[in-house]
Amino acid sequence: MEILQLIVSGLANGSVYGLIALGFVLIYKATEQVNFAQGDMMMLGAFIALGLGNDSQLGAPFWLACAGAILAMAAIGWTLERAVLRHLFGQPQIAAMMLTIALGFLLRFVAGAIWGHDPLALENPVAGKTLRLGGTVLGLDEVATIAVTVLLTGLLYLFFRRTRLGVAMQASSQNQLAAYCMGIPVRRVHGLIWALAGATAAVAGILFASKGSIDPGTGFLGIKAFAAAVIGGFGSLPGALAGGLIVGLIEPFASRYLATGYAPIVPYAVMLLVLVVRPHGIFAQVHAKKV
Amino acid sequence: MRVHFNTTYDRDIRLFPDTRDAVRYGLLVAVAIALPFLLDDFLIGEATNVLIWAIAGMGLMLLTGHAGQPSLGHAAFLAAGCYAHAILMGRFGLPFAASFVLAGAVAGSVGVLVAIPALRLHGIYLAIATLALSILTEDIIVLAEPWTGGVAGMTAPDISILGMRIDRLGSPDSFYWLCLAVAVLVTLGYRNILRAPLGRALLAVRDSEVSARAMGVSPARTKTVAFGLSCMTTGWAGALMGHFFYTFNHEVFTLVISIQLLLMIVIGGLGSIHGAYYGAVVVAIVPQAINVARDGIAGLFGGGGVAIPGLEIGIFGLILIFFILFEPLGVHGRMVKWRIYFELFPFCRRDMFRRQKSYLRTERMR
């Protein structure tokens, strides 16, 4: 039954990676920019929820704090696009890459200045409780994380399939120029994509902070989410989630069955392997350019 | 304003476009040589730091600025050069010069090994793959403990060249001259590569791989050579860095160093050797400026020195954001614009350097 516990905790971690990776892919698909600050946005979202909800801080009810954090991160994502990234429209990818790395530094600095550099835990209703399934004991926080991720994935799926805005986002990600010609306000859509990515990051952050603790350095978790996004394929939303789950599942098993010191290497080794064998991920969407 | 009237092809690719340039750079080198007589030991240490960062920056500039392959993993090659040098010199007792050259060769070979799978990757994927490399470096150094000393770290051996002992702490001046010599040699080599067919091939691959292939340039070969040369140079910088830090362990060559190196050349100006030097100066000045400002503020309010963790990197990020938004060509680009403004005065028009906007070409259709 130990394996079941490993699987559940792996899936729970993997859900968080998958949600961060989802943010990368959302932004990448729509704007061709890779947001290296996604992990830091996740961290900031968690800190905002913590600042609103924890008793030692503002002490708002948990659900209100969550909603506040999600809204705040959506606003921050939208503002970042509006104020900074929009100016890079049409510039080489590396410019946006550097810019988002710098933004990540800045967000980390802001969070460190406000909430300090010690690890803090988010007070929440599921922390420390357990769920008994037959002979196994599962952490309720981990089960809740998986459930929330499944729910969010379903909502996003419906959003992209059924709503006008979701279809517009898909269109502008597939072909900017054609989307312009069809009357889609591409720039505004980009702003909303960033807002959506910010909200997703906030959810990921809240889930992560509910399972353990966060500090400003948690943003580096984004790098693991990178591995997830690459394994799944950078252009594919289901791929990002699947990649996140794969990375999440690899981790506990690697640290359980491999010699110490080798476990942290495994996710990146898998990612490098995927990059070498299938450079655009398992769920690739790439076609050769025809001249 | 100078007009270069080229009557032969050789004249077009001369090392210095005219005598005035040659004199200017000669003067710069002369001042750099004389620097230890003008500054105290602390400032010479800072100048040495600038030179080492500049050498590393030139390594990355060749790959990112001229061959167009972004790398977020150059700390790995710094580490390769540093550890290779320390092991060859300290454990096998090689003389400094031999060990130094071999350390570059080791780092370069690692670079070529990395380049072979990396050839299939473009832009963002390459950045992420090298990012992973940068993260793995730390773990690999710890795992290779018998060689690298693992968490405990290593100590850089003493340098002695032709019977003269060079020690970073005991004789900072001679260590500075050593770094200066390496920097000048690397710069000359770099400049010559850019004049040679290889340099043109690098630019061609950066600007369009399809066109490069049509002109008979092999992108795969060019990129591999670029990786090798870039990592070799970075390895040399790493070897010097080892001497500069004196002791080092797995925590020295982190991802942050990789990122800082890339940010440095972007601030300096991508695609120019000057940029590597300007960027190195900025990287060295920012922490000092913050210290001075902090002391000044603390003095004003009569409080003790307040240390704000992460302030340095936050300010660095802010500087970078301003550069990318307002001067994407970096410090070097700004300098060139000012020079052209004064040379053309009063005929410089406002829109002369206007950036052309274009629709994004998707990377997913390649």
pLDDT of B48: 93
Tell me the residues of chain A between 127 and 166 that have a Cβ less than 8 Å away from chain B. none
pLDDT on residue A136: 73
**Which tens digit of pLDDT belongs to each residue from A115-172?**
888 888 888 777 777 777 766 777 888 888 888 998 998 898 899 888 999 888 888 8
Q: How many CB atoms lie within 10 A of CB B18?
A: 11
The values of phi and psi at residue B167, to 5°, are: -135, 130
Shortest alpha-carbon distance between residue A44 and chain B (Å) = 15
Least Cα separation, residue A119 to chain B (angstroms)? 15
Interface touch B357/A272, C-beta < 8 Å: no
* Contact in structure between A20 and A38 (CB atoms under 8 Å): yes
Report the alpha-carbon distance of residue B324 to residue A99 in Å, rounded: 7
User: What type of residue sits at position A80?
Assistant: L
The residue in chain B having the minimum alpha-carbon distance to the alpha carbon of residue A36 is B128
Question: Are the beta carbons of B314 and A288 separated by less than 8 Å?
Answer: no
Rounded distance between C-alpha atoms, residue A213 and residue A43, angstroms:
11
3-state secondary structure of B306: coil
Distances in Å between the Cα of A127 and the Cα atoms of A121, A123, A212, A216, B69 are 10, 7, 9, 21, 45
Alpha-carbon distance of A25 to B124, in angstroms, equals 12
Tell me A218's DSSP state.
G
Query: Do B321 and A275 count as a contact with CB atoms less than 8 A apart?
Result: no
CB B170 within 8 A of CB B188: no
- Tell me the backbone φ, ψ of residue B41, rounded to 5 degrees: -60, -40
**Per-residue pLDDT tens for A170-208?**
888 777 788 888 888 888 898 999 999 999 999 999 998
pLDDT score at B276 = 94
Q: Name, in order, each residue with C-beta under 8 angstroms of A96's C-beta and a sequence gap of 6 or more.
A: A31, A33, A34, A85, A88
Nearest chain B Cα distance for residue A188, angstroms: 16
Tally the residues of chain B. 366
What is the C-alpha to C-alpha distance for residues A75 and A247, in angstroms, rounded to an integer? 30
CA A171, CA A133: separation in Å to the nearest integer? 45
Q: Is the pLDDT of residue A285 over 70?
A: no
- Residues in A closer than 8 angstroms to B143, CB to CB, are 261-262
* 3-state SS, residue B155: strand
- Plot region of B154 (φ>0 → left; ψ -120 to 50 → alpha; else → beta): beta
Q: How far is B132 from chain A (nearest CA, A)?
A: 6
Q: Where are the domains of chain A?
A: 2-218
Helix (H) or strand (E) holding A136: strand A136-139
Q: B358 and A272: CB-CB below 8 Å?
A: no
Q: Pick the residue with more confidence: A91 or B22?
A: B22
Domains and CATH numbers, chain B: 16-353 (1.10.3470)
Which residues of chain A are within 8 Å of residue B131 when distances are taken between CB atoms?
A: 223, 226
Tokens of A137: 């004991």
| Interface TM-score (ipTM) > 0.90 | no
Residues paired with B161 in a beta bridge: B164
Pairwise CA distance, residues B252 & B79, whole Å = 8
Residue A261 with chain B: CB contacts under 8 Å: 139, 142-143
pTM of the model: 0.87
d(CA B104, CA B192): 19
Please indicate if any CB of chain B lies within 8 Å of the CB of A177. Answer: yes
Q: What are phi and psi of B283, to 5 degrees?
A: -60, -35
- Residue A231 has φ and ψ, to the nearest 5°, of -60, -40
Provide φ and ψ at B247, rounded to 5°.
-115, 145
Bridge partners of residue B336, in order along the sequence: none
Kindly report, residue by residue over B255-268, the tens digit of the pLDDT: 888 888 988 998 99
What is the C-alpha separation between B350 and B364, in angstroms, rounded? Answer: 36
State the 10-residue block means of pLDDT for chain B, 366 residues long: 80 84 93 91 90 95 90 92 91 88 94 84 80 86 82 80 74 90 95 92 88 90 94 95 87 86 89 92 86 77 60 84 86 89 82 63 46
- H or E stretch including B30? helix B19-38
pLDDT of amino acid B182: 95
Chain A to chain B Cβ contacts (< 8 Å):
141
Please name the member of A98, A268, A285 whose beta carbon is closest to the beta carbon of B324. Answer: A98
Give the separation between CA B331 and CA B33, rounded to whole angstroms: 24
Residue whose pair of structure tokens reads 């992420």 in the numeric block: B128
A116 touches chain B (CB under 8 A): no
The more confident residue out of A286 and A186 is: A186
